[in-house]
Amino acid sequence: MKSILLATLAFAATAFSQSVKSGIPYVENGHARHVLDIYSPPNAKNLPVVFWIHGGGWTQGDKTDVKLKPQWFMNKGFVFVSTNYRLLPEVDMGTLTRDVAKAFGWMEKHIAEYGGDPRRVLVGGHSAGAELAALICTDDRYLKAEGASFECLIGCVPVDGDTYDVPAIIETAETRLRVHHLPPRVNGHREKFGGTAEKHIDFSAVTHIAKGKGIPPFLILHVSAHPDTSAQAARLGNSLKEAGVPTTVFGAKDTSHVKLNDDLGLPDDPATKALATFVAGVLKK
């Protein structure tokens, strides 16, 4: 608790020195959620960029749920971008994912105006945002549709996702309910990802991993004690490693799904230290 308080106070003390542009539309005359926020350090110019995707089960969440991450990354010399996107059930998963890609495309075209380098972008996200981050960094169709490509990506940091292999999590969850004689979930992953086996496969990041695609290095953070996110992290990590993609899988101890994300940026946080090592490595290339 003390370390969180100190970090919060430090953030407040330095916040005045940052430039925050909130609610920037990335679609002309678009939806109310077609907006993003940009955090820039003072006198930013040609800095690498973080493109962050919030979580919330694809049904809720907001771009402002970033805690200490913007300041931590700015201290490392990044411009930080956090985006909103339309949510289930207003739109389907394909439309939702394309919203994220549209935000990325807008960012790449305009981020130099805010001191960022569009040729050096690290993509990250938590929970549902982890799935979206991993997908747009492995299935290049989404970025290509917006005039972007993997060439600008320097890394991907999905945080505690459980849907890098959608059929696997569906089978796991439904088997667990069946063997315990529990009723099926209403609007579970099967429904959220489109209700067909073909869509479940297509929305899985592991489906699109292959050698020679230019997939960026990955740091996969997960809660070590959680069986589903641990298994999915290992599944994604093994698939990436088999394709020759530099990959680190880090299981955080004594934490939770929410805490792992919220603590990123704390000075003594083990996952933050793993992130710092990863960031230092990708910036050298």
Q: What is the pLDDT of residues 37-63, one digit of tens each?
A: 999 999 999 999 999 999 999 999 999
End-to-end CA distance of the chain: 37
Q: Find the range with the poorest average confidence among 12-21, 48-57, 89-98, 252-261.
A: 12-21
What's the pLDDT tens digit per position in 269-279? 999 999 999 99
Q: State how beta strands 153-159 and 218-223 pair.
A: parallel
Q: Which residues contact 124 (CB under 8 A, 6 or more apart)?
A: 50, 51, 52, 53, 133, 156, 157, 158, 159
SS3 91: coil
What's the pLDDT tens digit per position in 187-243? 899 999 998 999 999 999 999 999 999 999 999 999 999 999 999 999 999 999 999
Q: Rounded distance, CA 133 to CA 212, Å?
A: 19
- Closest to 233 (Cα-Cα) out of 174, 159, 140: 159
| pTM for the full predicted model | 0.93
DSSP summary character for residue 164: S
Arithmetic mean of pLDDT, 154-174: 97
Q: Find the range with the poorest average confidence among 46-60, 172-186, 251-265.
A: 172-186
Residue 16 confidence (pLDDT) above 70: no
Tell me, what's the pLDDT at 68? 97
Where are any strands of DSSP class E within the chain? 19-25, 35-40, 47-53, 79-83, 116-126, 153-159, 218-223, 247-252
